[in-house]
Structure 1
Amino acid sequence: MPETEWQRSSFCGGGGNNCIETLPQDGVILIRESQAPTDVIRATPEQLAAFIRGVKAGEYDHLI
C-alpha cells in the first residue's frame, strides 16, 4: 500500500509518529498507528461507527 493513500487526522499533534491513520479499501476501513505501521486493523464502516459511538458515550473511559 503506498504511503500517500493513508489519511491522517487533522487533529494529529504536530505530525510525526503519533497519529492514527485510515485507508478505505474494498468495503472496509484499514486503521493503523503511525508508530507501528505494519500492524493494521480491518473494520467495516458499521463496526467503526459502533466503536466511535462507544467512545463518545464513555464506554471505554475505565481503560484510561
Structure 2
Amino acid sequence: MTAPLIWQKSTYSQEQGECVELTTSGGAVLLRESDDPTVILTTTRKDLARFLQVIKVGSGGPRAPRP
C-alpha cells in the first residue's frame, strides 16, 4: 500500500487556498495547482531548480548559467 502524499504550499499563500503545492515521491518532485489538484506535473529536483533560476532571471535575479 502506498502512503498518501503530503503536499506543501508556500507560507505566502493566501487563505483562499489558491496556490501551487509540491511534494516528493521516489526522487521525483510533484507540483499541482490547489484549484485543480487532479493535474500533477512531475519533474526532478535538478530541473525544478533550473526552472526557478530562469524565473529569477526574468525578474531581475541572478543569471542562470547556460547549459
TM-score (norm 1): 0.79
Instruction: Return the alpha-carbon distance in structure 2 between the equivalents of residues 2 and 25 of structure 1.
Output: 10
Q: CA deviation at 1:17?
A: 3.1
Task: Number of aligned residue pairs: give it.
Answer: 57
5 Å-filtered alignment, 1:19-30, equals 19-30=19-30
Unaligned runs of 5+ in 1: 60-64
Instruction: Return the alpha-carbon distance in structure 1 between the equivalents of residues 24 and 46 of structure 2.
Output: 13
Once superposed, what is the RMSD of the aligned Cα atoms? Answer: 1.8
Instruction: Return the alpha-carbon distance in structure 1 between the equivalents of residues 37 and 4 of structure 2.
Output: 12
What amino acid maps onto 2:8 in structure 1? Q
Partner of 1:42: 42
Deviations, residues 22-47 of structure 1 (Å, cap 9, x unaligned)? 01110011000000100000010000
Q: Which has the higher helix share?
A: 1
TM-score (norm 2): 0.76
Q: CA deviation at 1:13?
A: 1.9
Partner of 1:8: 9
Identical residues among aligned pairs (%): 33
